[in-house]
Structure 1
Amino acid sequence: MNQQHNKNRAFGFMLVILGASFWGIGGTVAQKLFQQEHIEVGWLVSSRLLVAGILLIAIYKITHRHQSIFVMWRTKQDALRQILFSLLGMLAVQYTYMMSIAIGNSAVATLLQYLAPLFIISYYIIKKYSKLTKQDGIAVSLTLIGTTLLLTNGSFSTLSVPFMSVFWGVLSGLAVAFYTLYAVPLLQQFHSLLVVGWAMLIGGVTMSIFYQPWHIELSTWTLATTAYFFFIIIFGTMLAFWFYIASLHYLSPKETSLLGSLEPLMAVITSVLWLQIPFGGFQMIGTLLILCMILYLTVFQKKNL
């Protein structure tokens, strides 16, 4: 039993690490599209959600031919839960994060998004689901200090951004917390492919009311632009969110949200290697702290963190 439990946890760690890594890399690629092609945030969000949502639902139908893709729409309660998750979770995470980047910069946006573990742990304590433990304190401290050093390189002057960037960034952190917590009861009833696929499709349809995906001048796109766009859809959206949500089958929401701090780590690494952004000593320390947090969770934390 313990051996199977350990295998399940290891699989959960692999899923969340891959999901967070894809999301972080996808953010860097999105930044490239914003800078080079001046693509609108709303258009990118609506397009990526629509295409990724359709693909995920199609994958589910191919792999589960005798199962209905409309299973969560059979009762009003399940349908309402899925809609709330789609709009306040999936769509909110996507749009608030991209808006924070567009108004300010990716470093501040990512840092503020990773207030999510604090929001989740605070929720657990307020609802009296758990008490603040020493393990929580260590994990959160490593996450916050490591992420702060990673994204600021020890200089808080880089946090000088417009108020609205901070506003959207904090909302992004709240959205990630809601997304992580609210997904659990849905996953207990429905397959993760359907939960994430429908969430993306609903979010994409909603955004399409304001930003129509078909309103784009493709004649100006290069082969590289097209490749970046589809990378964002397949890896930075579809696989990133599917793997992250699926990890909740094996890990607690607190563990998943803390391990999600690999996103800024991957964003910085890809920025350094691809965009040639300098990597300072404080950022190296931050990277090591995040890796220590991951090792700490892997070795010492229990399933019911």
Structure 2
Amino acid sequence: MKSRGKGLLFAGLGASLWGSAGVTGQVLMDNYHLPATALSVWRLILSGLLLLGFDYLLHRESLLRPWKDRADALRLFVFAVFGMMGTQYFYFRAIQYSNAPTGTILQYLMSILLIFYTAFEERRLPRGMEISCAILAMAGTFLVVTGGDWHAVKISQAALFWGLLSALAEAVYVVEPIPLMKRYRPSLLVGWGMLAGGVALIPFMDAPITAGVVSFSSLMVFLLCVLFGTVVPFLLFLMSVAEISPGEAGILGAMEPLSSLVLSLLFLTVSFSGMQITGVLVIVAAVVLVSSGK
């Protein structure tokens, strides 16, 4: 297989696996009564340790380099707490009050928030296509939330609140480490972001860290969430951007909400109306259009 073909395959497969994180997370919360906070803490800490271990085995360099520079350490702290921790915790909170595909779809609105951030950074107004895509995404969100009927809201206000917060945190997660990416490897930054974010969330836990049903099956689901919903997709993304552009990899990220929707329909007692599925497709189309720059 040619390099570009492998890159496209890795990016698509990684995004599809990322969609499984919400599904396994919902199973852990619904079936094994694992609170969203404990799930976020354990997932972040274990995933961070695995990524840092992978980085060290591959490069054999000090893992503490980002913390030795005061300015870099401060930016990494902001990335870990307001980006990484917020992204994971708010995401699972949204799922807790709705379901995996809804939480994933709301978080995916992050790409639209980045339109306005980019315009602000470049000191310009959003372009016509960018505004059109933002309107398209809001229309898709309306269909997901209401099913096309103003008087029949399909998700709770709490789910919408946490979902939009997760989109904002995801935007911070994308933007904050950009200067650091010029000096440190992504696996090093994300590994520390996950580990530090997980540790920072511990004091805010609303249930014991050992809460939930501990059994062989719950441990297996949790390992699936960590390995195939977090670590492996990230490594696949790193492998993909070595062969294709980050923009192309980002476009293939549209597989994530679709994957979450399909897996939920197959394995969970989740039902979406035709109008809600249309809303999902509208949001994905909006993000693909703006990511491709067309």
Shared fold per TM-score greater than 0.5 = yes
In structure 2, the residue corresponding to 1:88 is in which secondary structure? Answer: helix
Give 2:73's aligned residue. Answer: 79
Number of residues of Structure 1 aligned to a counterpart in Structure 2 = 290
Match of 1:266 in 2: 259
State yes or no: 1:282 paired with 2:275.
yes
Distance 2:37 2:284 in 1: 34
Q: Which letter maps to 1:178? A: V
Tell me whether 1:36 sits opposite 2:31 in the alignment. yes
1:195 to 178, 183, 189: 189
Identity of aligned residues (%): 30
In structure 2, which of residues 109, 120, 143 is the aligned counterpart of residue 126 of structure 1? 120
**Structure 2 matches for 1:207-222, cutoff 5 A?**
207-211=201-205, 215-216=209-210, 220-222=213-215
CA contact (8 A) 2:83 2:170 kept: yes
TM-score, normalised with respect to structure 1: 0.78
The residue that corresponds to 1:3 in the other structure is none
Return closer, same or farther for 1:227/1:173 CA change in 2, 3 Å cut-off: same
Listed as ranges, the gaps of 5+ residues in structure 2 are none
3-state SS of 2:176 partner: helix
Residue 147 of structure 1 deviates from its aligned partner by 5.9
* Distance 1:216-1:41 versus aligned 2 partners, 3 A rule: same
Instruction: Identify the match of residue 236 of structure 1 among 229, 232, 240.
Output: 229
TM-score of the two chains, using structure 2 as the length reference: 0.81
Alignment-derived partner of residue 86 in structure 2: 92
Letter in 2 for 1:199: G
Kindly indicate whether the alpha-carbon contact (under 8 Å) linking 1:147 and 1:261 is maintained by their aligned counterparts in 2: no
Distance 1:146 1:190 in 2: 37
CA distance in structure 1 between the partners assigned to 2:23 and 2:34 by the alignment: 14
Alpha-carbon distance, 1:173 to partner:
1.1
Residue by residue over 1:71-98, the C-alpha shift from the partner in whole angstroms, topping out at 9 and shown as x without a partner, is 1122101111111111111001011111
Aligned to 2:21: 26
**2:174 paired with 1:180:** yes
1:60 to 52, 55, 72: 55
8 Å CA contact 1:97–1:172 kept in 2: the answer is yes
Residue 125 (structure 2) pairs with residue 165 (structure 1)? no
Could you tell me whether the CA contact under 8 Å between 2:38 and 2:211 is conserved in 1?
A: no
**Which ranges in structure 1 are unaligned for 5 or more consecutive residues?**
1-5
CA contact (8 A) 1:111 1:151 kept: no
Mark the CA change 1:212 to 1:131 in structure 2 (over 3 Å): closer, same or farther: closer
2:41 equivalent to 1:46:
yes
Secondary structure, aligned partner of 2:63: coil
Distance in 1 of aligned mates of 2:284 and 2:109? 18
8 A contact 1:117–1:140 mirrored in 2: no
Partner Cα distance (2:188, 2:110) in 1:
24
RMSD (Å) for aligned C-alpha atoms? 3.6
Q: Give the AA of the match of 2:201.
A: M
2-structure distance, mates of 1:108, 1:287: 9
Q: Which whole-Å CA distance do the structure 2 matches of 1:108 and 1:288 have between them?
A: 13
Shift of 1:170: 1.8
Deviations 1:207-239 (A, max 9, x none): 233449994278x53433221100111122223
Partners of 1:132 and 1:175 in 2: how far apart?
21
Cα distance between partner residues in 1 of 2:275 and 2:211: 42
Are the counterparts in 1 of residues 142 and 279 from structure 2 also a CA contact under 8 Å?
Answer: yes
Shift of 1:110: 3.2
Q: Give the secondary structure class of the aligned counterpart of 2:246.
A: coil
Indicate if the aligned counterparts of 2:79 and 2:173 stay in contact, CA closer than 8 A: yes
